[in-house]
Chains A and B, each alone.
Chain A
């Protein structure tokens, strides 16, 4: 299979970002490779229903792929993180935003801002729940105590979906528009860098961080092209 690297961004190593505390650093970039072969399933032209409507005038770009990507670090010892309060609203028959990243112990509220009934449920092992059906204006709240991926769906609208990433450590982020990422000021020790892409799933790499130098990583994520309309 021919592969075609699309990533153009080059990581300018921002020099030795020396920390006074002598902390280490993990930095790197994410490469999205796209299989240019046609998808294995072709949709007939007369299919009455295609994929749910895309936001108008927004063709998929590389930046969109990075927005589907989350990177966090796992460590052997528990690192306490300050819980945050996040919100995942239902608006225009979509979950808004599509990705929510929170540290363990945070709570997420699910306000229904549409004039119709919605439902929120998840089958993900990290947190399985079903908030039931509730009408416009109401909200539900849930606390996430286990790290992992929580995919959220709506029974009433099969195309509505969102992902809540519960990070086990305070180190979590999304790559910037060029695919670069950086975790500065890390205590020395073993880490596992976890990259999760909504379509492609998990990519893990174990690294040893020392005080002296930065660990540089590169992740190649193969992504299936979106099906033809």
Chain B
């Protein structure tokens, strides 16, 4: 099933997630770049410090040799060692020689910082030695059986950095003197770790013993190059490994400095972590805001449109007033399309109304035409009503309503039987009741069509009298709208000036009398005044004044 997500949420998610991803990728790239830079810096510092340390060591060694060369020019030492040529090791007296040499060494070593002094004979066999302990200087016991005067020696399990000079007597070599200080592996990489590799095996290291096998295998695998740095991982921590150069060492001994990359990164980033966090938070907030605003700006016009459509649905009318001034081109297009549709709809509605109107007019005319006496009645009432309304200065819109409403005012007579409607002679009570129903029947016919609601009062109330004696409700004066009161006057006037099946058209005098008598009772005085003026203006007044007689006007007014 497809997940249903609202448009704003969709836009928000897409933009926010994208921004987050881009930001994350940016951070990652930054991190990588930083790591590379730090790696480089570390290498440089390694090279520099390694060279420095090597220089210091070389200098130290040079000084040692200079000093030793002086020290070894010692007649006592030489004399003692010369004895070895008379008394081979192991023979009687050799112990005394050894003690004599040791005594010499004690003397020499006093005040020097060496931890180990060792004398060998010309064959390279150790003959005597002293070693510094916390409690003092003691002879080396037992002496190592052989001795290789390399810069790094191991005596009694301790590793020493050694300097060896020959002891010469003239052209002869009596042996050699070796002085050494303890090899402090930690001093070679003060801020990191150090490993001393001897023939591919770790001899000494500052790492804990548990990780050594891993370090050893990685070193022999990755770090075979003499000059280049490499990277290895110990306990999940990345280390930059750099060979520390020792110019005086044999090639089977290698010193490696380890610097934790992660720690270096931490060092570096500690200062910037606050800034990074702020940038990150601000970036996220910005992304959030941006995504929110973006989602809103896209969805707002659409939502507005939907709300408008909903409102039109409620109102039952589609207004062609969708705003086309939006900043979004597509929204304007949509709105104008909607406007066109609404206009088309309104136009078709107008057409429909017009058709309905024409249909009803036709129906009214047909109704009038059923009876030759009432033919043209609706048209005449409409004409007179319009004239009155116009004269009274009503707005055009109301005049138009009056014109159309007057044409349909008797439409309810469709529901009145012909026998009653066309009866010659007086109507009985029952027949009057039927006649009196026609305003309400007309109203019921017209109220089905919404666009006719303006005409309903004319159809329903055109038989209400000014004094409340009309029907169907007996409303008085102002309770009946002015337009209806106008139509009422015009209706009665046309009824009494027309021939009927039961009588002839009344004489003008009669008509005038009926009209004047109805002022304030049957008719609105104002309307009558205007109407009379109108009639006079039609120059029919004189003729009407000459004759004055009517008794049946009441019934006429009911049946009209």
Interface residues of A (CB under 8 A from B): 39-41, 43-44, 46-52, 54, 60, 121-126, 148-149, 151, 153-159, 161, 198-202, 224, 226-227
Contact = CB atoms under 8 A, between A and B. Distances in A.
| A-B pairs with lowest CB-CB distance, top 7 | A51-B168, A158-B75, A41-B166, A41-B176, A153-B79, A40-B124, A226-B171
Most buried by A among B70, B79, B87, B123: B79
B31 interface: no
B228 interface: no
A161 B69 contact: no
B214 interface: no
A155 B80 CA distance: 12
Interface in B229-262: none
Given A40-B124, A41-B176, 8 more contacts: A41-B166, A49-B69, A123-B79, A149-B86, A156-B75, A157-B75, A199-B172, A226-B173
Interface string B158-172: 000000111011111
Nearest to B97: A123
Interface of B: 62, 65-66, 69-70, 73-76, 78-80, 82-88, 93, 100, 122-124, 149, 164-166, 168-173, 176
6 contacts: A39-B166, A43-B165, A50-B168, A126-B86, A159-B168, A161-B82
A151 B170 contact: no
A40 B146 CA distance: 12
A52 B85 CA distance: 20
A124 B86 contact: yes
A155 B76 contact: yes
Contacts of A46: 62, 65
A159 B79 contact: no
Nearest to B172: A199
Contacts of A157: 75
Contact of A201 (B75, B85, B124, B176): B85
A198 B79 contact: no
A144 B86 CA distance: 17
Given A199-B85, A224-B122, A122 B79 contact: yes
Given A40-B124, A60-B171, A224-B173, A155 B75 contact: yes
Contacts of B171: 51-52, 54, 60, 226
B166 A43 contact: yes
B166 A161 contact: no
Contacts of B69: 47-49
A125 B84 CA distance: 11
B78 A158 contact: yes
Nearest to B74: A158
Most buried by A among B88, B93, B123, B168: B168
A47 B69 CA distance: 7
A52 B72 CA distance: 13
B85 A227 contact: no
Contact of B165 (A47, A153, A159, A224): A47
Contacts of A40: 124, 149, 176
A164 to B, nearest CB: 12
A123 B76 CA distance: 9
A148 B92 CA distance: 14
Nearest to B67: A48
A227 B173 contact: yes
A50 B65 CA distance: 12
Contacts of B62: 46
Contacts of B100: 123
A208 B166 CA distance: 42
Contact of B83 (A124, A156, A227): A124
A41 B163 CA distance: 11
Nearest to B75: A158
A64 B169 CA distance: 16
Given A39-B173, A123-B79, A44 B65 contact: yes
Nearest to A49: B69
B430 to A, nearest CB: 154
A60 B173 CA distance: 14
A60 B168 CA distance: 16
A88 to B, nearest CB: 16
B126 to A, nearest CB: 12
B73 A41 contact: no
B66 A201 contact: no
Contacts of B165: 41, 43, 47
Contact of B169 (A122, A159, A224): A159
Contacts of B173: 39, 41, 199, 224, 226-227
B169 to A, nearest CB: 6
Nearest to B149: A41
B446 to A, nearest CB: 131
A30 B7 CA distance: 113
Contacts of A48: 66, 69
B358 to A, nearest CB: 130
A50 B169 CA distance: 10
Nearest to B77: A158
A227 B78 contact: no
A151 B75 contact: no
Given A123-B100, A198-B85, A199-B85, A151 B79 contact: yes
Given A60-B171, A226-B173, A125 B65 contact: no
A49 B66 CA distance: 8
Contacts of B75: 153-158
A148 B87 CA distance: 11
Nearest to B69: A49
A154 B85 CA distance: 18
Contacts of A158: 73-75, 78
Contacts of B149: 40-41
A117 B425 CA distance: 189
Contacts of A41: 124, 149, 164-166, 173, 176
Contact of B170 (A43, A51, A201): A51
B110 to A, nearest CB: 19
Contacts of A156: 75
Contacts of A226: 171-173
B70 A159 contact: no
Contacts of B66: 47-48
A159 B86 CA distance: 18
Contacts of A198: 85, 172
B176 A125 contact: no
A122 to B, nearest CB: 7
B73 A159 contact: yes
Most buried by A among B168, B171, B172: B171
